[in-house]
Structure formats: structure tokens, C-alpha cells
Structure 1
Amino acid sequence: MKNRIIITGGCGYIGSHTVIALIEHDFEVIIIDDLSNSNEQVLERIKKITGVKPKLLNIDLKNSFLAENAFRYNKDIDAVIHFAAHKAVSESVQKPLMYYQNNLCALVNTLMAMEKYNINNFIFSSSATVYGNPKTLPIKESNETQRPFSPYGNTKKMAEEIIDDVVKANPNLRAISLRYFNPIGAHQSGMIGELPNGIPNNLMPYITQTAIGKRDKLMVFGNDYPTKDGTPIRDYIHVVDLAEAHVLALNRIFSKEKDHNLEIFNLGTGEGYSVLEVIEAFQKVTKQKLNYEITERRDGDVPKLYANVDKANDILGWRAKMGLEDMISHSWQWEEYYHLEKKN
């Protein structure tokens, strides 16, 4: 029998790539997604890549009744991977209540349904934003978490605290929290990638949409940070590498090995690139000239974030395999594919 995995937010950017990785590793996947920042068409793309069209439950997990029903009518679930959340830093600063309601209520309702139906394996999609403005770099899991600069980041910090409380109260529950740094890139097939609604909040889709002509200009938010060129430095990780880490996290949970009932792992490359370095690399790799403008800082951004990933290397056996050029070329391949698809 295949292990059955519920993936909340599985039609989204990271969720959909993880669905592909799980199917390729012979897991059965059930997606729960309200499609608020994703598109049902991703299911057909997943089928083209894997030969399998995963089941979708179009459900808003903020609704506790609907969340409980989703678990009631889908039996024999072995684990849940929880992606479902709003994720834009700047939007969260403007709409904090929307973020607290969505990100925390969906998590609580999911954990309550798991408890009711005796599902004891949980992987949480967390973020490096829980470290706030770190005092030391590279960031280790042992670094103290701080009050993040954005409500989005704070929902991730609060979520980890909720999960920690729940595993202490329920010794049968095992949880792994994966703290992502900056996922970019797209599937190597070019058929699936990041597709945000409206103006992108993340750098790479903003770059590719500007290069393809969908956006007139790329806005670079601030060049007065204490970095080598004044723009923020981030640890960019290929989304396919990130997806593979979820497979390894599941394997660890199913193996029954653990240091604690809640284990935490950083996922990054350990290398930082500034915004201007990514722009220059994109122009070099794709031969596309980017129209960009330096503007005011964006609320919620910190100067530098990059990871120490020794723990994920040593315990999960996970390593990022793809570099910045792969991330850029695959992102551009996806943007061209989607643009051509829309034209036709």
C-alpha cells in the first residue's frame, strides 16, 4: 500500500513541486487548496509530468467544519504536509489581520482534524523570517528566533510555537518544521513554476514577468542596506531541491528516528546573493536586458539572510544540487512556456 499524504496548499508554487516529488517517490497525494493564490490547471500540468492527476479538495481550511469533513471522508492518511498560507511580506504589513486569520486558523483547524482522526505525522512549511534580523550569519537552527519584521513572518513564528505546544500535549504526534530561505526556479520540464496572482511579491517572478514584457519595470526596493551593493542579500534555493527535502522529511518521520517530537531544519544553499547580483546573473544567463528602477525600501525586509544547512545535510541526508544559474534558466523557461501557452 502506498502512503497517503494530504498536502494543504498543494496547488501553490512550492506545494505543486512537492506533489510532483511525492508522486515520483510513489506516494499517493490528496491536495486541499482553496485556490486563492493558485490555479486548478496545475493539476493537468502535474499529470503531464508524472502521469498522475492528484485528487483536489477545493476547501478553505479557515472553515473548521469543512476542514474536519475533508479529513473525515479521506481515510487512512499517513501524514500531512501543510503549505496553506498567505505568503507576501509586504501585503502582510498592509493586511495583518487577514494574515493572522488565514495562516493561523488554517493551521489550528488542520491540527484539530488530525488529532480527531489520529493522524500523527506532520510537516510544516516554515520560513527563515522567524529569525528576524539575525545577529550572526550564517543562520543555524539554534539561532534564537525573534519577533519578525512582518506579520507574515510572525505567523510562521507563532505557528511553530503552536505546533511545539501541540506535540508536547500529544506525545504520539511527530512534526518537522522546514525553514525555507528563498525558493526560486521552476520544474525542469518548464511546465510548472511560480505563478502569483497580480503583481509578484517575490523577486524572480517579478524579474521574469518584466523580461517577458508583462511588467513595464522591475522595482528594486532599496539600495541603502548595509550590504556590498546596498541591496538585500538572500539565500536562494531551487524549488525542486526544496521539494526533495519534503520527501526526505517524510522518510525520517516514517522511520521513527527523532531527536525531538518537533524537529527543525533550515533549507537553503548556505550562499547569499544580493538583488542586483541576481539581476545581473539573469541578464547574463538569459541574454535579456532588464528595465529596473531603484525605489524606497519595502516594509518588512531585513538586510541579510543566509543559512547554515549542516543539520539538514547530516540528519536528512539532503543537499541542494542546483545553483543560481539553474534557478534562473528554469524560471525563464517556465515564463516563456506560460507566455506561449497564454498566446495560443
Structure 2
Amino acid sequence: MKLLVTGGAGYIGSVVTAMLLDAGHSVVVLDDLSTGHEVAIPPGAQFVRGRVHDVIGDVLTPDFDAVLHFAAFIAAGESVQKPAKYWDNNLVGSLRLLDAVRSAGVRRLVFSSTANVYGDPDSVPIPETAATRPPNPYAASKLAVDHALAGEATAHGLAAVSLRYFNVAGAHVRADGSLMGERHDPETHLIPIALQVAAGKRDKLELYGDDYPTADGTCVRDYIHVSDLATAHLLALSTMQPGSHRIFNLGNGNGFSNRQVVEVVREVTGQPVPTEVGPRREGDPAVLVASSEKAMRELGWQPAKPALPQMVADAWDFFAGATVRHKTR
């Protein structure tokens, strides 16, 4: 198939691109590199630099079979301070994409959504039927796209899938042995920041709040290996239903507190990770843990790397290799 991957220079988008290429598909990556990195785009993919808003009509032509849409800003905390930035990029950009999909007659779209749309859930693990209470503009913008996809499926027969996933970690090993991992700048995610502290790149790690209603007072999150997550995108692509918008949660069903994650990083790296407690971040739910039963049942998805130490170890291997490569340039 010929596939368009928006945001394919980012962490998850680049891993999905690599898996699509390894599966024999032809892939075009569209990314403006505002948060992605051209070096992350796997060899073999055609790269078009630009914003979805501006160039999608020229890029998406009728010979494409499907779109996988990752292009978005993802920092929930920043979205509270700069909501217009998130509404424009995440929602308006997605609506422009849907216009182009309709015009080109492309009938399949897989959307990178987020479990953050559930806010503070009534119970965990969270099923897809749980009430949505987006706690910040980032989550609200993603939920708005979910609604737009549902309307597009009903009105125009689009086959659409939204994958709502939780915290993503680890590094993907390609067939040639190369590692693909997380390289956000600035980094906002717990595991890579903790690894930077372990490597001496940062003095300490700030824990945002220790007064949540959890066992140790810090937020609890479900973690999913990036390779397992990417596999779910390929499965979704192969099981799409015209005129239907389907939603799947993806996670391991196990929650880890921020303090537990830091302890795993210490164990894996053998290094101290000094921490300091700071104030809560606006829009952070206390507990997010997924129920992935629907994805397992309907997509045939099963996480192959569910253990948090394995995710941290893979991320540590990538971080060490990326640091070495950076020094030799």
C-alpha cells in the first residue's frame, strides 16, 4: 500500500513508519520538523517538509491507500498556558487533513489520540465506554478530532480508527539492528528525563506533586512499549470498516507511580536519580490505567514487551547510543 504518515519524524510516527517500510509498504512522511527530527525518518521513506495546514492538498493524492495521522503538539502542561496553539495545530490541522482525505477519495485513516481525554476516570482500568472529561486543551483538541472522525465516517463512509494510548516508552529495534527512540527537545516525559539525570545530563528530576490520592502521593500511569504501540497501528490499518469510527485504548493494564518509575530507572542504570518535589501541573489526572481488552479482542493485539524494566532498558540503550553518536558529529 501507499501510505501517508503525518508527524513521521516524531517518536511514535517514525517507529510506525519503520514498521510499515519493513512490511513492504510505500511511505510518504509529512512533517514540519517543529518537534520532530529529520534524522529519525527511516531510510526508504519519502520526506515532505511542511505543515498539514499548508501543503496537505498538494501531498495527498488519490493514489494513497490510507493516512496515519500523528502530527500534533503533545505537551499537556504547555497546552494550559497556550491553548490557541493546540487548537490550531491539533484540531484545525486535522480538519484540513480531513478535507484533503475527502477530496482525494482516500478511505482509511488511523488517528493518534490519547487516553488523557478521560481525565480523572470514575474507575480503572479505563474502558473505551468511560466518560470523557479532557482536563486540558491538549486532550480536548484530540477528543474534538475523534468527534470529527465519527462525523466523517457517518457522512462520507470514511473507515477511521482512533488509538487512545497512555505513556509510551522504550526503543524500537529495526531488522538491521538499529535503535529508534525518544528524542524530544525540550524533553517533557518522565522516563527520558530520569535517564538524563542518571547520565549526569541533569542535576535532578522534579516530581510534579506528591499529594495525589495514590499509594505514594505521585501520579500513576500505564506504560506501553513503543514497538507494541506501533504494532497496534498496523493491525488497525488491516482491520478497518468503511463508514465506521472505532476507538481502542492501548496500554498494559498495570499502573506505576512516578516514584516507582524513578526506582526502576535507578535499578536499570545503576545510577542515582536525585528527585525534588514540585507543585502539581495543571491538567494532570491522578491515575490513568488502560483496559485494552477491546484491542486484544477485535484487533488481535497483544503487548510483547509489557515489563517496565524492559522499556527502561531499551530507552537507556538508545539514550546511550544517541549520546555517543551526537558526540562524534
Q: Give the TM-score of the pair, scaled to structure 1.
A: 0.92
Residue ranges of structure 1 left out of the alignment (5+ in a row): 48-52
Separation in 2, partners of 1:250, 1:27: 12
Structure 2 SS opposite 1:62:
helix
The alpha-carbon deviation at position 106 of structure 1 amounts to 1.2
2:142 pairs, out of 156, 181, 184, with: 156
Show CA shifts across 1:36-58 (max 9, x none). 00111113xx23xxxxx210110
Deviations 1:287-339 (A, max 9, x none): 12112111111111010000111100011000111111110001100110111
Mapped to 2, the partners of 1:165 and 1:250 lie a distance apart of 19
Structure 2: distance between partners of 1:149 and 1:214: 32
| 1:337 matched residue in structure 2 | 321
Check if 1:59 corresponds to 2:43. no
Give the 5 Å matches for 1:227-306.
227-253=214-240, 256=241, 261-306=244-289
| Structure 1 residue 142: Cα displacement | 1.0
Partner of 2:184: 196
Cα RMSD (Å): 1.2
Q: Is the 8 A contact 1:34 1:59 kept in 2?
A: yes
What are the within-5 Å matches in structure 2 for residues 1-344 of structure 1?
Answer: 3-43=1-41, 46-47=42-43, 53-63=44-54, 66-72=55-61, 75-146=62-133, 148-171=134-157, 173-188=158-173, 189=177, 191-198=179-186, 200-253=187-240, 256=241, 261-322=244-305, 323-344=307-328
Deviation string 1:140-166 (CA, Å, 9 cap, x unpaired) is 0111212x1111011111111111111
CA distance in 2, matches of 1:326, 1:268: 15
Distance 2:327 2:320 in 1: 11
| Deviations 1:97-116, CA, capped at 9 Å, x for gaps | 00100101110111111100
Counterpart secondary structure, 1:236: strand
Say whether the 8 Å CA contact 1:125–1:178 is kept in structure 2. yes
The residue identity in structure 2 corresponding to 1:291 is P
8 Å Cα contact 1:93/1:150 also seen in 2: yes
Partner SS for 2:162: strand
1:178: Cα distance to partner?
A: 0.4
Q: Shift of residue 14 of structure 1?
A: 0.4
Confirm or deny: 8 A CA contact 2:219 2:257 kept in the other structure.
yes
Aligned-partner Cα distance in 1 for 2:235–2:149? 20
Deviation at 1:190, TM superposition (A): 5.9
Aligned partner of 1:50 in structure 2 is none
Unaligned runs of 5+ in 2: none
Identity %, equivalent residues: 39
Paired residues of 2:209 and 2:217 also in contact (CA < 8 A): yes
Deviation of 1:249 after TM superposition, in Å, equals: 0.5
1:283 & 1:197 partners in 2: Cα distance?
23
Structure 1 residue runs of 4+, over 6 Å off?
none
Distance in 2 (CA, whole Å) between partners of 1:36 and 1:153 is 20
Which amino acid in the other structure matches residue 71 of structure 1? L
- C-alpha distance in 2 between matches for 1:37 and 1:212: 23
Q: 1:214: Cα distance to partner?
A: 2.0
CA contact 1:123–1:176 (8 Å) conserved in 2: yes
